[in-house]
Structure 1
Amino acid sequence: MPTMPTSAFTLRDPVYPADAEAIARVRSAADPSWPVTAEQVLHYHTHRDQNLFDTEVLAEQGGCVVAAGSIGHDTFSHEEWRYWGHLNVHPDFRGQGIGAALYDELLRWVQARGAREIRTMLSDLPHDAPGVRFLTARGFVPAWERYESSLHTRDVDLHAFGPLLERVAAGGIALKSLAELVGDPERNRWLYELDWILFQDVPMGLTLTRRTFEQWVREELDDPTLRPELSFVAIDPGRSDPLTGPYIGYSTIGWNPAGGYAYIGITGVLREYRGRGIAKALKVAAMRSLAAAGGGEIKTFNDSPNKAMLRMNEALGFRRTATRTRYELRLDGQE
């Protein structure tokens, strides 16, 4: 996007699918560590939960979309009075009051709905420094830390984990990719139940709310960035649970097409199967599959209290690259 001379800007609602490419361009420029494609923008718009409030506003200058903001209910921790927001201004168009105007418009929407809290997340990477100053000036305070770590498959001796995989297999646990299980008519339902059980054990600092089965499938399994051939399920063939069947753990891998890297969505194992190296084996299976497909970088994100997963990732070769902080603004005067 070329730099343009300062001129008046206007705020408007987005028009889909026409604005998807422009929104993706602005978001990618504002946050180069997590770029997005038009397809991802469209997928979210099309598949978001229509029962939850969500609104978007664009800023346009000289016929170009130069900023995009959104605010809505938190899918994972839904309370009518709590909202999650994002605001991105293209770096070439900052310093003109565009971000402030977008913020005021989004704030007006949720205050009219009785909002008591707004949350958002920014990193300690240099490109997010202006955003941190923006939030701090408006009363947002840091409330939670999530650590980002990464590795490249070329830097890891994956053969060294052979004994781990053999030990898990000898314990009667099979590792199958989501792609291998696509023909299983119960796959999606068992994964849905397993996902809910596992997420409740993740220390995220949130009171989780459950999505419907249909919404979960739309957001998770139908996500265009999911790589089923790199995502693995741990199976105990001798188990037949009414909710999760023989599925006892899983780990998902997505691929950021704009960034050119993989990322881990969730990794977890049922409590009674922990301590046997299964979660670690799930990640190794994914790393080996990615290496066999040409290799690449893998990013993972873990909340600061999740010491066990942080230690496991370090043992696998992941190294800390950033801290992502959740910022919160109370609108009801409470701390």
Structure 2
Amino acid sequence: MTDFLLRDVNFPDDAEAVAEVLSVANPGWPTTAELVLHANEHRDPSFYFTEVLAEQSGRVVGVGEIGHDTFSHEDWRYWGNVSVHPDARGQGIGTAMYDELLRRVQERGARELRTMLGDQPQDEPGAAFLKARGFDPRWERYESSLHTRDVNLTSFDDLMTQVAAGGLALRSLAELSGPDHERWLYELDWLLFQDVPLGLTLTRRPFEQWVKDELQDPTLRPELSFVAVDPTRDDPLTGPYVGYSTIGWNPAGAYAYIGMTGVLREVRGRGVAKALKVAAMRALHAAGGGEIRTFNDAPNRAMLTMNAALGFRRTATRTRYELRLDGEQ
């Protein structure tokens, strides 16, 4: 066993080392130094966030981070993660980082901690770590995937014709412009998220932060992300937009992933959400093809059924763990 020390992160110098630890600790969702730096530079400064690194023989072997749960914010609720390089596990490094992060947020009056973990073999030590500290599994999210080469994309021709005949056009984000289109997307995104069964009370981001998080995300592929447009509609909030589906690209893992997919309530039942995903699949196939991953919460039966009909197959389950520090349940 080699001694280690804890220290604060120093960007940009530590970006490569942080990305390496995060990637080997979570190989299903690898990252890059560029993405680490982007997240650090575009984080909302109105929320608390702190990081700690574990260094051993001059090498970063652990990354711990914790901050306000910005997705469902309460000043006493925090979301965190501790990652240790597989080569350095079993030496108390994860415990030391956890204890330090816990100390920092308890000084701020933390009452609840949240994190998320998968069910793959490499996640088993993490699950045991959480349970030993009193974390309870509270919510499941399913990961599914398909490869465009395995899908008969012509089988959806009738669906695409039906949607077009209903007066809706599917336009990629790359095609959209105008002074209001970002604001329309922002309002649409918020309306759609109200109907996603997440088991959370959502916190709305300011428009400027939403643009940074979503439209300026370096992984977003605008040419693969589509919006359903009704040219006869002029809604004061969403303009002519009635639905959308976004696609990101993980440069470290070389796969695409679906962000948000949804349509307004009055447009449901017409196959629009499915058509948006088909449009993305066709665009990715035309660009060379590849794997697409998607994530859906367990109660979202409608989207899980739709994804299965498109060819997605379940690959993993991610569980949200929670720890009440005040003894409440």
Pairwise TM-score range, normalised by the shorter structure: over 0.9
Q: Are residues 1:274 and 2:268 paired?
A: yes
Q: Report the 3-state secondary structure (helix = DSSP H, G, I; strand = E; otherwise coil) of the residue aligned with 1:179.
A: helix
Distance (Å, rounded) in 2 between the aligned partners of 1:272 and 1:116? 40
State the 1:298 CA deviation.
0.3
Distance (Å, rounded) in 1 between the aligned partners of 2:78 and 2:194? 21
Q: Are residues 1:57 and 2:52 paired?
A: yes
State the 1:7 CA deviation.
1.4
Distance (Å, rounded) in 2 between the aligned partners of 1:312 and 1:66? 41
Distance (Å, rounded) in 2 between the aligned partners of 1:87 and 1:185? 42
State the 1:185 CA deviation.
2.0
Distance (Å, rounded) in 2 between the aligned partners of 1:185 and 1:152? 36
Match of 1:194 in 2: 188
Match of 1:96 in 2: 91
Q: Report the 3-state secondary structure (helix = DSSP H, G, I; strand = E; otherwise coil) of the residue aligned with 2:174.
A: coil
State the 1:251 CA deviation.
0.2
Q: Aligned pairs, how many?
A: 329
Q: Are residues 1:333 and 2:327 paired?
A: yes
Distance (Å, rounded) in 1 between the aligned partners of 2:82 and 2:22? 9
Match of 1:171 among 166, 191, 196: 166
Match of 2:140 in 1: 145
Match of 2:246 in 1: 252
Match of 2:16 in 1: 21
Match of 2:210 among 207, 216, 229: 216
Match of 1:156 in 2: 151
Superposition RMSD in Å: 0.5
Unmatched tracts of structure 2, length 5 or more: none
Q: Report the 3-state secondary structure (helix = DSSP H, G, I; strand = E; otherwise coil) of the residue aligned with 1:27.
A: helix
Moved over 4 A (4+): none
Provide the identity percentage: 74
Match of 1:288 among 259, 270, 282: 282
Match of 2:37 among 42, 49, 52: 42
TM-score for the superposition, normalised by structure 2: 0.99
Match of 2:121 in 1: 126
Distance (Å, rounded) in 1 between the aligned partners of 2:70 and 2:145? 26
Q: In the alignment, residue 48 of structure 1 is paired with which amino acid? A: R
Distance (Å, rounded) in 1 between the aligned partners of 2:17 and 2:194? 36
Unmatched tracts of structure 1, length 5 or more: 1-5
Match of 2:112 in 1: 117
Match of 2:6 in 1: 11
TM-score for the superposition, normalised by structure 1: 0.98
State the 1:76 CA deviation.
1.1
CA offset digits 1:239-296 (Å, max 9, x no partner): 0000000000000000011011000000000000000000000000000000000000
CA offset digits 1:28-58 (Å, max 9, x no partner): 0000000001111111100010000000000
Distance (Å, rounded) in 1 between the aligned partners of 2:232 and 2:189? 20
